Each structure stands twice: as C-alpha cells, then as structure tokens.
Amino acid sequence: MEIVCVTGAGGYVASWAVKELLGKGYIVHGTVRDPDDEKKNGHLKKLEHAKERLHLFKADLLDYASLCTAIHGCTGVIHVATPVPAGKVTDPQKEMLEPAIAGTRNVMNACLKAKVNKVVVVSSILAVAVNPSWPKDRTMDENCWTDAEFCMKTEKWYCAGKAISEREALEFGKKNNINVVTVCPSVVFGPMLQSTLCTTNIILLNLFKGKNSFNLIEFDKAEEDIDIPIVDVRDCAKALLLAYEKPEAEGRYLCSPHVLRTKALIQLLKNLFPHYNYPTDQLRVSNEELNYTCEKIMNLGWNYRSLEKTLVDSVERMKEAGLLN
C-alpha cells in the first residue's frame, strides 16, 4: 500500500488532503508539532480510516531529522506546511521569510534522502500575481512569477517566501531527478475540519462582524476595493491529489476558479446571510485587476464548486463549531 506524507497535517488545507488520501486507500504519514494536542489534531484521528492508516509524527519544518523520520518509507509527499511565527512579528525577514525557505529546503532534502518519487508543494497565487513588470493586458498563467525582490522591498514577506520556496523546490526536483509539482491556490474558503480558525476563516468571520481584514494575507490595504481570488478548500485538496496522481502533471498549477471585488463578496454574503453586521466603510476603487487563468489544472480534469456553495458550507461549519451566533 502506497505511503504519502502530508506536512502540517492538522492545518486547514492539509486536513482535507489527508481526508482525500485516506478515502483513496493511501497510508498517510502526517507531520504535526504535537501528536497529542487534541485541540489542533484531534479531528485527524476522527477521520474515516484514520485508525488503520493514519500515522502522526512529531516534526518541525526547521528540524531536518524529524522530517526524515516522517518521510522515511514514503513514495510521495504533499508539502503544505509553512512555518508560522508564534505571536507578534518583530523581524519578518527572520521570522517569516527565512523559515519558509529553510523549511521547504529541509523537506526537499528529506525527500531526496528517502528516495521519494513525487512531491507536490503547496505554493500560493501570491507567488504568481505580484509582478509589476507583467504586461497589464496579458493574462497571468503559470509562466508569471512574483517578483521576490520587489516583495522584499515593499515588505510583502509572505509573497516573497512563497515565490522563492516554490522556485527552489522546482529547481531542486530537476537537479535531483525528483518529480516536483507545485499548486498555487488563492484565498481558501470552505468548511473547516479542525476546530481552530485559520487566517482565511478569520477574515470571513470578521466580515460578519463588520470588519474588513483582507490585508491579513498581504493582498493590499483593506480600505481598497480589490479583486479577491477564491478557491474552496475541498476543491484545493482535490487539485493536490490530481497533481500527485496524474502522471502527466508537471510544473506549476494555478488553482483559483473565482475572483470578485471585496464589495461584491460582501454583497453576496449579504444576499446569502442577511442577518449580520457587514462592513460599511467606503472602499476606494482599485485600478489593479487580477487577470489570470486556471486552464492548465482544468486540463488535468479538475472541476470546482460554485462560490455560493463554498460560502454556505463555510458558514454552516462555523455555526456548528459555535463561532457564529
């Protein structure tokens, strides 16, 4: 039976990837900070087939030896985790950028040591879309790379870290004859499997409370009416499985079927859930348009849910978890 390791298994996207893998008959090695932390990882143990085929390993992206232990014996790895600083960030270069790059390097070196056949790295649309020199009239696709130097100058550390890590992973694969594929999702909404809130669901929850906090993920200033690219967490997990299982999958894949402005998203939420206090701030019109295509991943056989379905399921899960009154 094939063994696949998922890094950061307790996280939002990774949990759904674990669920998908277990559902398809794989044995899963999940890396987590603390396997005994029921609040962060208890939901994984309740997944169908988890008792027989899920093994949690105490591992840290910055601890190469622990990654080697988790990845040993695996034929594939889905690398989802990104080191997240605990508490307030005082030095983003040291606390966000450098750990993101070092963590991916450690994963790739552990994959090389374990003779892993295939690695799927979760990157981000932010590793694609922040490129001032990309022609405005040209649709962004997998050939468009975020300008890491520009991001560092403008202090978009998450964007820079994702772009550098993804590029390094692809180059490492070519150099060492490992099949490396990257997937670049956008803002991920949809039902949580875990009980702790992730960044994007905090943003959604904030919108219900009258606060616009899209600047939490380095898109831009929250006071601008910007394009928000969105993908359902379940569709994102399916994209990772397609990238892993399809022999023809190669290079990078953009994964974001929906894009709409902040105001339009708030209006859609109002139509679906009229009983909340939405932001009433006057948002400045942004001239920046996010013009990209997901044609490449669609050609792998990927499809996706409607945005309305994603939002309804997100809210239902939040209500179940007692996060919404």
Neighbours of 147 (CB within 10 A): 19
Task: Let me know if 132 is exposed, middle or buried by CB neighbors in 10 A (0-12, 13-18, 19+).
Answer: exposed
Please work out, in degrees rounded to the nearest 5, the angle formed at the alpha carbon of residue 232 by the alpha carbons of 250 and 87.
95
Residue-wise pLDDT for 247-271, tens only, equals 999 999 999 999 999 999 999 999 9
Pick from 35, 30, 128, 42: nearest CA to 79: 30
Domain boundaries, the chain: 3-190+229-258+291-304
Token couple for 278: 């939405």
Q: For the segment 173-206, what is each residue's pLDDT rounded down to a tens digit? A: 999 999 999 999 999 999 999 988 888 888 899 9
Contacts of residue 274, Cβ cutoff 8 Å, sequence gap at least 6: none
What is the b/e burial string over 30-68, where b = at least 16 CB atoms within 10 angstroms of the residue's CB? bbbeebeeeebbebbeebebbeebbebbebbbeebebbb
CATH numeric code, 3-190+229-258+291-304: 3.40.50.720
Asked if 162 is an active-site residue, the reply is: yes
Report the distance separating Cα 24 and Cα 180, nearest Å. Answer: 21
Task: Tell me the backbone φ, ψ of residue 125, rounded to 5 degrees.
Answer: -60, -20
- Spot the catalytic one: 19, 40, 118, 162: 162
pLDDT digits (tens, 9 = 90+) for 269-311: 999 999 999 998 888 888 888 999 999 999 999 999 999 999 9
